[in-house]
A and B are shown apart, each in its own frame.
Chain A
Amino acid sequence: SQQGEEDPQALSIQEGENATMNCSYKTSINNLQWYRQNSGRGLVHLILIRSNEREKHSGRLRVTLDTSKKSSSLLITASRAADTASYFCATIYGGATNKLIFGTGTLLAVQP
């Protein structure tokens, strides 16, 4: 499987704290994306980072990409109870495959 793996599998923090999730993948990629899923329903795109980028910000989100280590991290700053969800990384592999492969996910619980 070309699926990435997120670490940790589950994370519980208090409101206001920062949450960091990591993703590792197996082969070269075109880009890496992060998605959020609330209560087992549809996924929502959060941020995309291309293979030639090292860091990207969007609001309270910060994503880093280390292609030498085949890994990415998602940092959510000043977390809120509404951030409680599952977070998935997803990768597009080399070539024009247009096939997005998802990781195993991190379940984040933010306690009020």
Chain B
Amino acid sequence: DAGVTQSPTHLIKTRGQQVTLRCSPKSGHDTVSWYQQALGQGPQFIFQYYEEEERQRGNFPDRFSGHQFPNYSSELNVNALLLGDSALYLCASSLVIVSGLEKLFFGSGTQLSVL
């Protein structure tokens, strides 16, 4: 049973470019959350997708957008890249339950460097 997979592992872009990161959730999971983790910091919540819709959003500009597909996989898109977007981008999957979120399963992340 595959866990959460993310691609690519590493990515180098230049300022102003656009980037797309991909995530396949753990089998049986229907919810995908994206996090940005700067060096030495804790993960910052970007947004969460469930039933192909953005359900929750953190304090990130509209340059950050996403999508969830019918097979529950997800993409994170960042437009007009800034140097400050350099970070580890983590995808996490979970199963929504009525009583609230249980534990998250994380992928290994995509290390994005913006030059």
Inter-subunit contact A33/B100 (CB<8 Å):
no
Q: Do the beta carbons of A102 and B42 come within 8 Å of each other?
A: yes
Q: Is the CB–CB distance between A41 and B109 below 8 Å? A: yes
A99 to B98, CA, bound (A): 14
A100 and B42 form a contact (CB under 8 A): no
A48–B42 touching, CB < 8 Å:
no
Asked, given contacts A43-B106, A98-B56, A99-B56, whether A92 binds B90 with beta carbons under 8 Å apart, the answer is no
Report how many residues on chain A are interfacial, defined by Cβ distance under 8 Å: 25
Q: Give the interface centre of A42, A92, A102 by most chain B CB atoms within 10 Å.
A: A42
Q: How large is the interface on B (under 10, 10 to 19, 20 to 34, 35 or more residues)?
A: 20 to 34
Q: With both chains docked as a complex, state the minimum distance between the C-beta of A40 and any C-beta of chain B, in angstroms.
A: 6
In the complex, the answer to whether A96 meets B100 with C-beta atoms within 8 Å is yes
Contacts of A102 in B (CB 8 A): 35, 42-45
Whether B107 pairs with A99 at a CB distance below 8 angstroms is no
Check if B104 is an interface residue, CB within 8 A of chain A. Answer: yes
Cβ-defined contact, A33 with B42, below 8 A: no
Q: How far, in whole Å, are A1 and B96 apart by their CA atoms in the complex? A: 24
**In the bound complex, what is the Cα–Cα distance between A99 and B55 (angstroms)?**
10
4 tightest A-B contacts by CB? A42-B106, A98-B101, A102-B42, A45-B103
Question: Can you list 21 pairs linking A and B with CB atoms under 8 Å apart?
Answer: A30-B100, A40-B37, A41-B88, A42-B106, A42-B108, A42-B109, A44-B106, A45-B104, A88-B43, A92-B101, A96-B98, A96-B100, A97-B56, A98-B31, A98-B48, A98-B50, A98-B100, A98-B101, A99-B33, A101-B45, A102-B42
Known: A41-B109, A97-B100. 14 other contacts (CB 8 A): A42-B4, A42-B106, A42-B109, A43-B104, A45-B103, A48-B102, A92-B100, A96-B98, A98-B31, A98-B50, A99-B45, A99-B101, A100-B104, A104-B42
